[in-house]
Structure 1
């Protein structure tokens, strides 16, 4: 007979016999909890129980019918053994729970890291999109502004040519008259606003500007920053936003000039009141 053909049944029976399948200890290990539950705190009648052990053939470790003392000692040892076994089982269960908690914690940390990385990537992509959109709006505004300026220059040149032609016609019709010749228009003359010198108002407010350029409107794109102008249109008689990179700087200058010109807001126009209140609310005054 080869080793591969020998089954395990005989070995299991031998082990069970050595462990005392028909022993008092084995019986107590299996039925201790049920017996305690049945007694419900009452003392065990060991004499009656030992008589029953003898009737069913349950023996002690020496192969003898257990005495009361032997049964009590076996009962105590089985209790201690079961207590240690339960403690070990509880420790294994606690260790399994701890390992499971560690795995869940690691899993949650990995998921949080992935989520954070995705959120960061999404924010970076959104910021890049916003930057590109601002750049595109600024480029579109510059193209539109260049077209408006070119159209304006063409109109001014045409009007200047018409005035020159009319002046030449008048001069040829009345050669003896004492009129001076009309000077060519050329580039538009720059002008400055008649503004008081106010402390805290920047130099931009006093710079010369082209009076023929259209005023800046709310929502137009600032070509210097790429952002849209938020707080109203240009105010007549005050510096244009065209000379400023940041709207807060324009609010500061215009707000201080308004405060110098008006004792109270009651004498301001609605547009001036709006600009003044925004400047004050944003801490620019």
Structure 2
């Protein structure tokens, strides 16, 4: 080897040792940082990696240094990347890039911070906020429904009560004599009106069921009266279909049951209406 060549090699080796010596204090600091630190040259190859970077990537330093970083480092803005660790684990990493002089060359010092836990916490916070918003919207919808049912109940009760009142006046003969056939028809109108009021109450009961506040009256009631009332209500529908519908009790005394009279009557009406 020529003396000039030997001199050049000696100078380069001396400069390399000088640069390493110059960065020795910085290396010791970087080695103890919790964030991963790598140094990437202009070709995109990793020239240095600290122990935290080794843990972050799940690879020994020997498999990092001298290999391509694999992510663009042309911007100094903070970005987030996903790093696939050996074994399949994925972590979210916050990446910061700062140009620096390293071993006599201009390189990029890249800091890598594991923000997986923070991102998961943020996602959970968004989910909770969405759940709270959905819950608030559901509660508002329930309130609106309850208000609507209350208004509807009032609006329906008013004309139904008027119908019942006029039926009673007609039955009393205040508008003239009432024959038996007319009295029977007035009775059916009254029964149907009472039934409609019961249906209005049942609509209101739906909101009570959803709120868990529905109460059922449990008291002795006449089975014959429930059957007779249901038959009376279903009679017009049966006549329109050309079906003869009648109800009578064969037991004496008439049987009784323990339950809610209004709901039992509604069940019977539904059964008869479906049958007709």
TM-score normalised to structure 2 length:
0.37
TM-score normalised to structure 1 length:
0.36
More strand by share: 2
Higher-Rg structure is: 1
